[in-house]
Structure 1
Amino acid sequence: MSLRVAVLGLGEAGGAIARDLVRAGVKVVGYDPVPEKDVPGIRRASSEAEAARGAEVVLSVNWARVALEVAERVAPVLGAGQIFADLNTAAPALKRALHGVIAPTGALFADVALMSPVPGQGIKTPSLAAGPGALGYAGRVRPLGAEVEVVGEEPGTAATRKLLRSIFFKGLAAAVGEALEAARRLGLEAETRQNIAQTLEEANAALVDRLVEGSLRHARRRREEMAAAAAMLRELGLEPHMAAATEAWLGKLEKSLRDCSPESFPGST
């Protein structure tokens, strides 16, 4: 293909995407501040701006904490006809700020959220895209094998959807990890692991309603239960991050239920 893509950030995700682009025949220019990070078949630029200059699509695949700085460094070389796609996991407010930097250049901004791990999938990683450049981004990368769902014209829309999922999935992982660490210290790891695995295996769509309704109905009892769990973890020398957070959440839920009827509480229907 005659398409030229700049990949800013050649770490695990950026490197995998860049390799797939090269295999697809795309002209790839890459930049990473770490010289050792390299991808065969790409032209290595000396700066983000050099990589972005003239590229039809610019992919920012680094870290959210530097995303705004990267956008500011490449903005002077961007212009009409280019798409700047930020693939970093970031808050919607940061995506909107990035759009604010890119929009005056004439280039179109795309807020892209990668919805599963990139290693092993590369350019085929399922993703959501939003912002004024979302359709253009999707149109250019779909022919290369990318799975992109356009979810809106407002920057931050894709990030919002990803982070809502992240609250659940990463929170679940943390809760499992905390429970297994405590079980390991008590000599009950195998049993606890089996209990967790069985629960996940038997889960279905109705579980969501059961979790919401059960928390509403039994907020006080469950708060006290999690307070006991947190105390147990402290006795084991563990900081009860998830147990204490759950206790606090249930306490807030209990107070809300005292202050209003259950029917008016979000999630009660």
Structure 2
Amino acid sequence: MTVPASRPVIAVLGLGEAGSLIAADLAAAGAIVRGYDPKVPAPAGVGAADSDAAAVSGASIVLSVNSAADAVDALRDSLPGLPTGTIWADLNTATPGLKERLAALGGRTVRVVDVALMSPVPGRGLRTPMTASGPAAPELAVVLGGYGASVEVLDGPVGAAATRKLLRSVFYKGLAAAVTESLEAARAAGLEEWLRGNIREELIRGDASTLDRLVDGSRRHAVRRREEMAAATELLTDLGVPPRIAPAARDVLDALIEQRPTP
């Protein structure tokens, strides 16, 4: 790790779990860091500010790690104190449209970079894998990389990183939701340990061909599987477990049937 010879001032807005860990790691690596959060004190080594505007004053890089709901207000409130050319890195999980809105709001004053955190921050902190998009993404990657961050720069405009993250979230968070619902139903049926073991075995057996089997099998056997998920939906209802994922799967399979070419 090579700490930049001319250390920039890095402001971190939002000192929740992710923001605090990233800010603390930057400070420990030798960066000059200022942080602000109305509810959370700054971690050791991070200069505490009493507002967004105070935190970003004189900063060359701002990491916005508050929330998607606060992202626009944080930039709007900070704009008066931002030097022209400041990199505004939005690390919040948000839609590409929101990232584009931030870029438009920043105008010619700040250079907005869309950053996506690609794994949980606890246990990794600044070393959490990140993807970044936007014209200033390469510059941000060099600076943060100098302090130990791993930032993959994507070709494409602001919003490209958010698109990839959310597409991945559909799979990963959807899988987690399916597992949660199935285990809740199994618990109601007195079969939770059996199902936990079954799920573990399926995950262990997964390999490079699993994806093709899931996709091709769903299309090939859509009719039978739709009826299977309709029955599963009824079972969950009978067990007193509100079905959400099961009927969604049934509806997806129904749509696959409708997409089949007419003989």
TM band (smaller chain): over 0.9
- Alignment pair present for 1:7 and 2:7: no
Question: Which residue does the alignment assign to 1:78?
Answer: 82
Within the candidate set 122, 147, 150, 1:147 is matched to 150
The superposition leaves residues 177-222 of structure 1 with CA deviations (integer Å, 9 ceiling, x where unpaired) of 1111111111111111111111110101111111111111111111
1:132 maps to a residue whose letter is P
Name the structure 2 match of 1:179: 182
Structure of higher RCO (CA pairs closer than 8 Å, 6+ residues apart): 2
For 1:97-246, what aligned pairs fall within 5 Å after superposition? 97-105=101-109, 107-246=110-249
Q: Which amino acid aligns with 2:105?
A: V
**TM-score relative to the length of structure 1:** 0.93
Identity of aligned residues (%): 51
Do 1:227 and 1:247's aligned partners in 2 also have CA atoms closer than 8 Å? yes
Q: CA deviation at 1:43?
A: 1.5
- Which secondary structure does the structure 1 equivalent of 2:88 belong to? strand
Match of 1:40 among 27, 35, 44: 44
Cα distance, 1:20 vs. partner? 0.3
Secondary structure at the aligned position of 1:58 is classed as strand
Q: Point out where structure 1 has 5 or more consecutive residues left out of the alignment.
A: 263-269
Q: Does 1:93 align with 2:93?
A: no
Contact 1:134/1:153 (8 A) holds in 2: no
Which one-letter code corresponds to 1:20 in the other structure?
Answer: D
- 1:250 to 2:260 alignment: no
Q: Secondary structure at the match of 2:249?
A: helix
SS in 2 for 1:109: strand
- Which of 63, 70, 74 is matched with 2:67 structurally? 63
State how many pairs are aligned. 258
Shift of 1:153: 3.8
Q: Which amino acid aligns with 2:100?
A: R
Q: CA deviation at 1:247?
A: 0.7
Could you tell me which runs of 5 or more consecutive residues in structure 2 were left unpaired when the two chains were aligned. Answer: none
Name the counterpart of 1:23. Answer: 28
Amino acid in structure 1 at the alignment position of 2:133: A
User: Matches of 2:262 and 2:130 in 1, distance apart?
Assistant: 39
TM-score (norm 2): 0.95
**Does structure 2 retain, via aligned residues, the 8 Å contact 1:75–1:101?**
no
Q: CA RMSD in A?
A: 1.3
